[in-house]
């Protein structure tokens, strides 16, 4: 086979997105406006939730999810060690303390049994990460927080965050669904399962607006979705507010700043990309599924472990293809990635566990305490999985993976 160059995860942008962006640019409205509102409506329908707020990243969405729920200084948030930094850093931005949790043995998901031991009177939230677009076992998470209800100390007072905590009166469940738009489990869509969910529309994700992200949430008893939505607008746009009367009066210029808040809104140019991506999303998801099927057949035949993207009660978003070569360690894994790259097949690793990163080491975490996360990482290779791969490209990846990895299986 002639050498090809297979990029890891290029964005799939068609003329439809390009034309919509051009129209947005010509429309005279380029920042947050009608295209953002329209994308929010369509995403809420897609996720089966009441409201979606579009923002400039998943990290901002996760941070605002915490802030909306009043989580901050003095609170603890449980996060899997096996994830991307944003799952943890958003809680740190809010002043909360992150408590890392190891994975289950030989499994990408966190150790649900160990969560109960980590919950104490300071615990306010668990972040579940739907890695690769496979939805976690939220039923189990709800069971755990239900059992630990007696330990939960809701924030006092009448702020929105306090009222949300009082209404739920248990540890809150957040989903980092950066990978999982469109995934489902037990008949429920990602976004409609956790208390609050964030999605990423970064350039490498299944669905992109170049940069971007969104928040959504489940209805909370006695807290209005309108109020939550409005607070997201304030948090993401400087805390700037115009009262209802001012908005209706001619020549009204005056506004108030009700909090010294943040700037992380989505622009209509970004939303223009998203609107047309959403039109194409089901087709892109199907194509990813075909590639997953081919990689599954290869791995199963070779005896290589891999993420399972669909089953009786779940269907992933087909975001990442994680393969794990049995019997090798970190050194061999690195060799394989280099050999594949020399053949033009660009792979990746999802993820180097957070306790191995400088920032988290400096916070006192040590990978020795996370043996299962390390064990999952050390022989892991993520294969290129995207909609710009032709069938011949996929065959090329498979042929090279068989040859290179085959050498290590003898």
Ligand X SMILES: *Cc1c(COP(=O)(O)O)cnc(C)c1O
Residue 129 as a binder of ligand X (CB under 6 A): the answer is: yes
If phi > 0 it is left, if psi is from -120 to 50 it is alpha, else beta; for residue 70 that is left
Q: Within its chain, how far is the Cα of 63 from the centroid?
A: 12
178 forms part of the interface with ligand X (CB under 6 A): yes
Q: Who's near 286: CB < 8 A, 6+ residues apart?
A: none
Question: Is 277 a residue that touches ligand X (CB under 6 A)?
Answer: no
Task: Give bridge partners of residue 265 from the DSSP assignment.
Answer: 55
State yes or no: residue 59 binds ligand X (CB under 6 A). Answer: yes
Minimum Å distance from CB 350 to ligand X? Answer: 8
Helix axis angle, 34-47 to 268-302, nearest 10°? 30
Query: Which of 32, 49, 57, 372 contacts ligand X by CB under 6 A?
Result: 57
CB under 6 A: which stretch of 31-39, 172-180, 341-349, 364-372 binds ligand X?
172-180
Q: By C-alpha distance, which of 336, 185, 208, 192 is closest to 270?
A: 208
**Nearer to ligand X by C-beta: 215 or 400?**
215
Our CB check for ligand X shows the closer of 59 and 265 to be: 59
User: Binding marks (x or -) toward ligand X, 4..43, rule CB under 6 A?
Assistant: ----------------------------------------
Task: State how far the alpha carbon of 236 is from the alpha carbons of 68, 110, 274, 378, in Å.
Answer: 11, 31, 19, 39
Identify whether the C-beta of residue 272 lies closer than 8 Å to the C-beta of residue 17. yes
Sheet holding 321-324, edge to edge: 305-306, 321-324, 380-383
* 387 scored as a contact of ligand X (CB under 6 A): no
Name which of 178 and 299 has its Cβ closer to ligand X: 178
How is residue 226 written in tokens?
């309108």
Q: Which of residues 62-91 bind ligand X (CB under 6 A)?
A: 83-84, 86-87
Decide if residue 302 touches ligand X (CB under 6 A).
no
Q: Partners of 198 in the beta sheet?
A: 176, 215
Q: Which is nearer to ligand X, 176 or 195 (CB)?
A: 176
CA dist list (Å): 275 to 72, 200, 208, 283: 34, 15, 10, 14
Count of residues touching ligand X (by CB under 6 A):
14
If the CB atoms of residues 199 and 396 are measured against ligand X, the closer one turns out to be 199
Cβ proximity to ligand X: between 59 and 197 the closer is 59
| DSSP structure class, residue 266 | P
State the pairing for strand pair 184-185/314-315: antiparallel
Per CB under 6 A, does 119 bind ligand X? no
CB of 322 to ligand X, least distance (A): 13
How many C-beta neighbours within 10 Å does residue 188 have? 16
Applying CB under 6 A, among 80, 132, 182, 213 the residue interacting with ligand X is 213
CB of 108 to ligand X, least distance (A): 11
Q: How far is the CB of 209 from ligand X (least distance, A)?
A: 9
Q: For ligand X, which residue of 175, 192, 200, 379 counts as binding (CB under 6 A)?
A: 200
Residues 6+ apart with CB under 8 A from 300: none
The sheet with strand 213-217 has its strands ordered as 52-55, 213-217, 196-200, 172-176, 123-129, 76-80, 97-101
Nearer to ligand X, 152 or 235 (CB): 235
Minimal distance in Å, beta carbon 170 to ligand X?
24
- Residues contributing to the site for ligand X (CB under 6 A): 57-59, 83-84, 86-87, 129, 176, 178-179, 200, 202, 213
């Amino acid at each position: 086979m002639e050498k090809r160059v297979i990029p890891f995860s290029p964005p799939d942008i068609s003329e439809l997105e390009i034309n919509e962006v051009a129209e947005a640019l010509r429309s005279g409205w380029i920042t947050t406006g009608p295209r953002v509102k329209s994308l929010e409506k369509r995403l809420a329908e897609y996720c089966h939730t009441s409201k979606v707020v579009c923002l400039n990243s998943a990290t901002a969405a996760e941070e605002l999810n915490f802030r909306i729920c009043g989580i901050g200084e003095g609170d603890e948030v449980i996060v899997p060690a096996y994830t991307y930094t944003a799952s943890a850093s958003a809680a740190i931005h809010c002043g909360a303390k992150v408590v890392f949790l190891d994975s289950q043995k030989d499994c990408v998901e966190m150790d649900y049994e160990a969560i109960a031991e980590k919950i104490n009177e300071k615990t306010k939230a668990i972040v579940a990460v739907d890695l690769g677009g496979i939805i976690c076992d939220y039923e189990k998470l709800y069971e755990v927080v239900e059992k630990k209800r007696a330990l939960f100390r809701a924030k006092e007072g009448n702020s929105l965050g306090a009222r949300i905590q009082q209404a739920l009166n248990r540890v809150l469940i957040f989903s980092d669904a950066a990978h999982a738009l469109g995934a489902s489990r037990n008949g429920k869509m990602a976004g409609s399962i956790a208390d609050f969910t964030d999605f990423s529309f970064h350039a490498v994700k299944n669905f992109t607006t170049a940069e971007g992200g969104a928040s959504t949430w489940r209805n909370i008893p006695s807290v209005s979705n309108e109020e939550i939505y409005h607070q997201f607008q304030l948090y993401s746009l400087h805390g700037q507010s115009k009262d209802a009367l001012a908005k209706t009066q001619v020549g009204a210029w005056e506004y108030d700043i009700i909090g010294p808040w943040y700037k992380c809104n989505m622009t209509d140019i970004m939303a223009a990309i998203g609107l047309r991506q959403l039109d194409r999303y089901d087709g892109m998801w199907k194509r990813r599924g075909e590639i997953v099927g081919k990689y599954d057949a290869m791995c199963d035949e070779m005896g290589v472990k891999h993420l399972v993207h669909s089953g009786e009660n779940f269907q992933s978003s087909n975001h990442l293809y994680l393969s794990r070569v049995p019997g090798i360690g970190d050194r061999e894994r690195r060799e394989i990635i280099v050999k594949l790259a020399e053949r033009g097949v660009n792979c990746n690793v999802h993820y180097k566990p957070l306790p191995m990163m400088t920032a988290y080491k400096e916070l006192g975490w040590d990978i020795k305490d996370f043996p299962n996360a390390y064990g999952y990482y050390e022989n892991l290779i993520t294969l290129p999985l995207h909609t710009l791969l032709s069938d011949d490209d996929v065959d090329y990846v498979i042929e090279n993976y068989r040859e290179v990895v085959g050498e290590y299986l003898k």
